[in-house]
């Protein structure tokens, strides 16, 4: 899958989430700190890449995981609550990544997880190209 195709798929998920939330492009653009609806329009159409920090913000707005926005998998607001074990695993990950969770904000941790999901998807796509 090309970079453009990935951007298009991410844009489709963002559009679907926005529409499900009953939000206009202008409203979402404002929540992301931009003044023009064309900003969101270009993301939704795949014409513009979206940054990691904006993915984290979108995930919070729509109550989904950054992984869902990036890959179409992971938790959505319609999913059941994560089991207790997942919360413990997050603490284990923070310890492994940052040598403990002291001073690590939820935003920092979500950004790292979003980046990891992106890298995973990119590597999976590379693997599919090599199989062809």
pLDDT digits (tens, 9 = 90+) for 31-61: 888 888 899 999 999 999 888 888 999 999 9
pLDDT digits (tens, 9 = 90+) for 14-23: 999 999 999 9
Phi, psi at 32, each rounded to 5°: -90, 0
> In Å, how far from its chain's centre is CA 38?
20
User: What count of Cα atoms within 13 Å lies in the side-chain half-sphere of residue 129?
Assistant: 9
Is the pTM higher than 0.75? The answer reads no
Predicted pLDDT at 115: 85
pLDDT digits (tens, 9 = 90+) for 86-121: 344 666 666 666 766 677 787 887 888 888 888 888
Question: Mind listing the domains of the chain with CATH numbers?
Answer: 3-131 (1.10.260.40)
Res. 132 pLDDT band, cuts 50 70 90? low
CA distances from 44 to 6, 78, 84, 88 (A): 11, 22, 34, 35
């Amino acid at each position: 899958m090309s970079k453009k195709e990935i951007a298009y798929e991410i844009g489709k998920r963002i559009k679907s989430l926005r529409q499900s939330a009953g939000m206009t492009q202008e409203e979402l653009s404002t929540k992301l700190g931009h003044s023009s609806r064309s900003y969101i329009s270009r993301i939704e159409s795949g014409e513009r890449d979206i940054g990691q920090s904006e993915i984290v913000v979108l995930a919070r707005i729509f109550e989904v995981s950054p992984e869902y926005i990036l890959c179409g998998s992971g938790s959505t607001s319609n999913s059941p609550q994560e089991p207790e074990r997942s919360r413990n695993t997050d603490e284990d990950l923070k310890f492994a990544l940052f040598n403990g969770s002291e001073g690590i904000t939820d935003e920092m941790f979500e950004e790292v997880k979003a980046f990891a999901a992106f890298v995973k998807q990119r590597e999976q796509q590379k693997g599919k190209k090599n199989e062809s």
